[in-house]
Amino acid sequence: MMNLDGPKLQPPSPALLAAMLDVLGPKGFTTDHDIMQPWLTDWRGKYHGRAAAMLSTATTEEVAAVVRLAGDAGVALVPQGGNSGMVGGATPDASGAQLLMSLRRMNTIRSIDQGAQSVVAEAGVVLQVLHEQVEAQGLRFPLTLGGKGSATVGGLVSTNAGGTQVLRHGTMRALVEGIEAVLPDGAIFDGLAALKKDNRGYDLKHLLCGAEGTLGIITAARLRLVPAIAARITGWFGVASPESALALLRRLDSALGPELEGFEIIPQSCVDAVLAHIPGTRAPLPDHCGWHALVELAAISPDRADVLLDLATAAQSDGLVTDMVLAKSDAESNAWWRIRDSISEAERASGPAIQHDVSVPVDVMPHFIASNPARLNAAFPGARAISFGHLGDGNIHHHIQPPLGADGAAWIAEHGEAVSELVYRHVIELGGSLSAEHGIGQMKRDLLHRLSDPARIAMLRGVKTGLDPSNIMNPGKLVP
């Protein structure tokens, strides 16, 4: 296998920086430390980098020119969108030799096509702005997540982002119809035409989606839109266990099919933590349940609530559901989703935890949730596992809290790495993934190397060396 360090990367020379300033103009180029500073640390404050300059391109042609200059000089580029990633994928290294490349100025929505239900958005368009612009045309972009106020189209595509609507609409990959990108040699790849069928060899769209900027820089994407929601129906169900929740999910999925958009599970302890720490929250159900399922339909009409109710009543008779309530208003729906979305915040209020974003086959998830705590406690007595999230996607956030009474920070410093290793090895044993939706970035690169099938690593390296032989594209990220 080729050496991924490749030709030794260089810091940019003064002449190269001058040439870039010449291409980008003063609005697109800075070496000012105070201006760069907010973008050199990831939003969670875990990764800190330096950069020789920050480039803020305004057009695809400018991106191409900059990439050509960097390639000729053997200088590394680190593309960045909203800087809201979870794995340090957009933070440069500490050398100060890399160039930070912001796509945020490229924030034009080039077109919205009502007939074909698609939008062409540049890399720097913020997700929330995209939502609003297409809603104004009676359409909907059906992917959303907590960071929607800062996450950009380029970053969402580059990380194949997930969120809470994946059950119905898939991850970002399933919503990308076309991509425009600048490749490591500076060529512009124009793949924006919306072709439903195209068998001209390797699928370059799928290759760039989720590549975390290591194969090229995405400058624009054509994204699939769906009709606006006709009727939103939200249900909150008490269930005895993740097994019961899965059985309920299967019934709803089979009866409601494409109307079922969201199915999240939440343990009682998380609900308790939210009610204790987040002001203004109220329990949807009067009594404690082992687990809760938050279900959302994008239904064809409001009367489909009756169908959901009938299904849930039958599930109650069969012992799958212990209690239930449907939201009576959009405000109530929003209040319930606020409970779901506040779990991490409530958890932080009660102390530190070790977080894992993992997936296993959907059917196996109840087994993982049930069996991981015992395995964990055998090795780390008193450690507490909390699992919540996207059961329908086989993807949960699996957080481990220190034993009650322990000094949390000290315990994590001592055991954190070994705890994570135990969790990831369990996931892999079950055929799962150590990164379900957050990606690899710099955070999980060594982990991926250590715990992956060598065939997978060899393929990642082969693609990377084949497409970016000089390794100028976000080096040090993703590919071990």
d(CA 190, CA 15): 30
Rounded to 10°, the helix 60-73/14-24 angle is 170
Give 8 or 197: the residue with its C-beta nearer to a second copy.
197
Minimum CB distance to a second copy, residue 73 (Å): 20
Minimum CB distance to a second copy, residue 249 (Å): 10
d(CA 62, CA 188): 11
Give 239 or 479: the residue with its C-beta nearer to a second copy.
479
d(CA 443, CA 476): 10
The token duo for 129 is 């702005």
Length of the chain: 480
Minimum CB distance to a second copy, residue 356 (Å): 13
Minimum CB distance to a second copy, residue 282 (Å): 31
In degrees, rounded to 5, the angle at the alpha carbon of residue 404 between the alpha carbons of residues 403 and 408 is 65
d(CA 440, CA 89): 7
Give 240 or 362: the residue with its C-beta nearer to a second copy.
362
Identify the DSSP state of 171: S
d(CA 303, CA 29): 56
Give 219 or 401: the residue with its C-beta nearer to a second copy.
219
Identify the DSSP state of 403: P
Minimum CB distance to a second copy, residue 40 (Å): 24
Q: Which residue blocks in 101-202 are alpha helix, DSSP H?
A: 127-135, 153-158, 166-169, 172-175
Give 254 or 313: the residue with its C-beta nearer to a second copy.
254
Give 12 or 432: the residue with its C-beta nearer to a second copy.
432
Minimum CB distance to a second copy, residue 11 (Å): 26
33 burial level (CB within 10 Å; 0-12, 13-18, 19+)? exposed
